[in-house]
Structure 1
Amino acid sequence: MKTLSAVALIAGLTASIGLADGDDTRFGLAGILSASNKEDLPPITLSAGMPLADAPLSLKSGTYYEIEIEADGSQELGLVGAEFFRAIWIDEIVIEGLEIRPLGLDSVEFDEAGTMEIGFLAIKPGSYNLRVPGSTGETQRLDITIE
């Protein structure tokens, strides 16, 4: 009787979220890390006196994103955003083909020109920002909303 009840419960749950008969068109076998759940974001540019991005970012909780941070080497620049980094799960950071899988992150810094790609899953809804430390200008901050 317990087995029958458990099977009925699982069947009801899978039907309610669209998994009945293996008909889940949202994700592949990797679940939320499937390619169908991935979006590329416009790059963040670190350059002396230039804006970080063209527009604020609007993210959806549960979606996997990849973003490139590009530094032109015009100045030693970094990004801080502890609150944002704690609202996401970082899958990996790729720098010149080296993959880093950190437990957490507070900030990143470029001493010279280069590119870093961060793959992450947006988790906690809210309003956040990444900014160049010590700056006060609007163009030196990227506002990010996770819905």
Structure 2
Amino acid sequence: MHKSIFAALAALFLANPAIAAPLCNELGFAGLLAKCNRGEPIEITLGSGKPLGKGAVALQSGGYYEMRITADGSAELAITGEPFFRAIWMNEIVINGIEVRPMAIDSLEFDEAGTATLSFIAIKPGSYEVRIPNTTSDSQKVSISIQ
């Protein structure tokens, strides 16, 4: 009985291995955080009446990225995106030179002008969005897909 279950599981995993292809072939000692595995930074701007980003963003599962969120101080604004933040592994959040290494976040709120940089590895494929809470305009969200 145990042999047949083991054989079935082995056949399942060997037939369709789950591999998240990195952005580079030779990761070296740094692994997923290697310089060659870094994608383009994601720029988000929080400003009263201004669009959050410049369009949809496509990420590769296993790739290392930075999201730079800059508030211009024109209003007290937040950005939320719980499903997206649960689909990534958060390395750190840097705010005014202070590094925070959280397990997870739901949102960030800016009371004043400033920048927060989130560094992360994209993990779970799917379609997500980050947005200003309680808004409905398409310009107040950024669509993110992890492939």
For residues 57-68 of structure 1, what are the structure 2 equivalents within 5 Å? 57-68=57-68
Q: Are 2:53 and 1:53 aligned?
A: yes
Alignment-derived partner of residue 85 in structure 2:
85
Q: Are 2:41 and 1:41 aligned?
A: yes
Equivalent residues of 2:47, 2:72 under 8 A apart: yes
Deviation at 1:118, TM superposition (A): 0.4
* TM-score, with structure 1 as normaliser: 0.82
Deviations 1:58-116 (A, max 9, x none): 00000000121000000000111000000000000000110000011111110000000
Q: Which has the larger radius of gyration?
A: 1
Amino acid at match of 2:140: Q
Deviation at 1:43, TM superposition (A): 1.0
Amino acid at match of 2:37: N
Alignment-derived partner of residue 108 in structure 1:
108
Task: Tell me how large the CA RMSD over aligned residues is.
Answer: 1.2
Q: Distance in 1 between matches of 2:25 and 2:102?
A: 31
Amino acid at match of 1:34: A
Q: Distance in 1 between matches of 2:69 and 2:32?
A: 23
- Structure 2 unaligned regions, length at least 5: 1-23
**Secondary structure in structure 2 of the residue aligned to 1:29:** helix
Q: Distance in 2 between matches of 1:25 and 1:89?
A: 21
Q: Distance in 2 between matches of 1:32 and 1:80?
A: 26
**Secondary structure in structure 2 of the residue aligned to 1:108:** strand
Q: Distance in 1 between matches of 2:66 and 2:32?
A: 14
Deviation at 1:33, TM superposition (A): 1.1
Alignment-derived partner of residue 9 in structure 2:
none
Q: Distance in 2 between matches of 1:145 and 1:28?
A: 27
**Secondary structure in structure 2 of the residue aligned to 1:112:** coil
